[in-house]
Structure 1
């Protein structure tokens, strides 16, 4: 299977509440006129969009070009639906982590000059670390209302890198915690960071439960 060619310049879709991971799927509802144009241009070209997280304070200049985090992910539109009023529903599939090396603003939306980040090709976790993640996920499943989907993630037998990415995207972490995971240098580091964040989350839940019972 031929490798997907990722261009040097891609449209950027900066959001304050989304961190996108390679090898995950991201459904998006596109309603702002500038991002409708972005989707139209992407669909007419290579179908690629770069997702990046806005930095804190973005509200001051949201309609302009507020600062963004340097590391994001580039994805490809694999499904699109244009609604009667011009809005879009799309699904992105994450291809690569990327560095934003520059921007240009000759369209209504931002475009980024990107450099893809190649992580070491290690797709397997050491058994103790994977077992720890599985155990933590099951504990989250028991503690969090409506977290049944976590168990199904384990049951479908995802490859380790996809499992870690899916948990990183799907767990109720803050966007800065998710950005911290995205910026990890390799699978093992991301999994270790994820385990630490999950342990902290479970500790917080335990303290809250104790206060409620008291």
Structure 2
């Protein structure tokens, strides 16, 4: 369970999903302080996406999407220049309820959001997972690549991993994150990939993973 108050790290192109790893290079002084405090505490950082137009107030407190994902620092390396290389593992979605001021970085009061788990939709989930994999296999084959997907990955790991690591627009990833569960996220991701495939008959570059 994540604490009710966590530091948030707003970025313009990064959306973290539960169960997925995210490497980050942290160089701004305020976010280096954030990492130092997190490492001295519960090691939790909330990732949130900056809203369009953030550039006008980037050094202050630009607007962010209210739904984000809290991650746990699984690896941290402080460099000689004071910067950090860290790895976050996505844990839980959250919604920002408010922010506290007084620190160089942003500290948010949050409400955790659990993805819905409909145990009665096992058959539908299997069908949507197979559909998503078929679409990805077809797209990769069109580009001359061979698709290899670990068969033992859970539905959550598979769907969230693709949602985070495929070359999607940040707003598309944010929309996927905000969906209420793995099944609707899987269905929406498959729909999105089909649409992109039809829009680019010669092959969609977004099948490359980060």
- TM above 0.5, yes or no, is yes
In the other structure, the counterpart of 1:139 is 138
Instruction: Classify 1:79/1:128 alpha carbon distance in 2 versus 1 (closer, same or farther; 3 Å).
Output: same
**How much has 1:126 moved relative to structure 2?**
2.8
Q: 1:122 Cα deviation (Å)?
A: 4.0
Task: Select the residue among 33, 41, 46 that pairs with 2:42.
Answer: 46
Cα offset for 1:172? 1.2
CA distance in 2, matches of 1:60, 1:22: 30
> Does structure 1 residue 128 correspond to structure 2 residue 124?
no
Q: Residue in 2 aligned with 1:206?
A: 201
Structure 1 residues not aligned, in runs of 5+: 210-214
Q: CA deviation at 1:120?
A: 2.0
Equivalences, count: 201
Which one of 169, 172, 175 corresponds to residue 180 of structure 1?
175
Q: Root-mean-square deviation (CA), in Å?
A: 1.8
| Map of 1:11 onto structure 2 | 7
Give the TM-score of the pair, scaled to structure 1.
0.88
Shift of 1:157: 2.5
Give the C-alpha shift of residue 156 in structure 1: 4.9
- Shift of residue 203, structure 1, vs aligned partner: 1.3
* Runs of 4+ that moved beyond 6 A: none
Partners of 1:143 and 1:46 in 2: how far apart?
Answer: 45
TM-score, normalization by structure 2: 0.90
CA contact (8 A) 1:26 1:91 kept: yes
